[in-house]
Each structure stands twice: as structure tokens, then as C-alpha cells.
Amino acid sequence: MFDNHLLGMAHITGGGISENLNRILPKNVDAKIDLEKFQVPEVFKVIQKASNGSFDSMLRTFNLGVGLALICGPEMVQHVLTRLKACG
């Protein structure tokens, strides 16, 4: 489906976004996550408030509604997004 344009996929489970991404990235590669691009579901805001936890601790613990991350080169972002949208 993606014609080898995906370099990796991470199922975001326990350990949060950063820990799960780090598992699939080479040592010399970092991920840039734009937190403005996704909306944190209300349930995670309630958990944060009830636990008096920081947003950073929430990122390290929960997926904050991001269940899957796809890794591709910057030149392939639009192609991958187009293919995903075509899948519904």
C-alpha cells in the first residue's frame, strides 16, 4: 500500500509516545513531535488533574490518544497522508 515509503511504525502503548518511538528509531535519529497537531482526549486531562501530574509525565506514561505513529522521510509525508486519507 505504501510502496516502501514507511520507515517504521510504533504502536503507542505503556511508556508513552517518546519511549515507544525511541524503540524503533536508529540511535542517530530523533523524532520531532508537534504537540499542536493533535488534541488530547478529555480523559487524559482528567487523569492529569486528579494525579497532579505534569504534562511531561503524562507524555512518558500514556499515549494521549495517539495509538499508532508512522515514520517516513520528510519528503514522503504528503504522499503517506494522502494514502491514509484514501483508506478512510
> pLDDT for 28-67, tens place per residue?
888 878 888 889 999 999 999 999 999 999 988 899 998 9
Please check the confidence at residue 88 and state whether its pLDDT lies above 60. Answer: yes
CB 4 within 8 A of CB 69: no
Q: Which domains does the chain have, with CATH numbers?
A: 8-24+37-87 (3.90.650.10)
Please check the confidence at residue 2 and state whether its pLDDT lies above 60. Answer: no
What single string gives the DSSP state of each residue in 8-46? EEEE--TTHHHHHHHHHS-TT------GGGSPPPHHHHH
- Interior angle at CA 82, CA 35 and CA 72, nearest 5: 60
pTM of the model: 0.72
13's CB contacts (< 8 A; 6+ apart) are: 20, 63
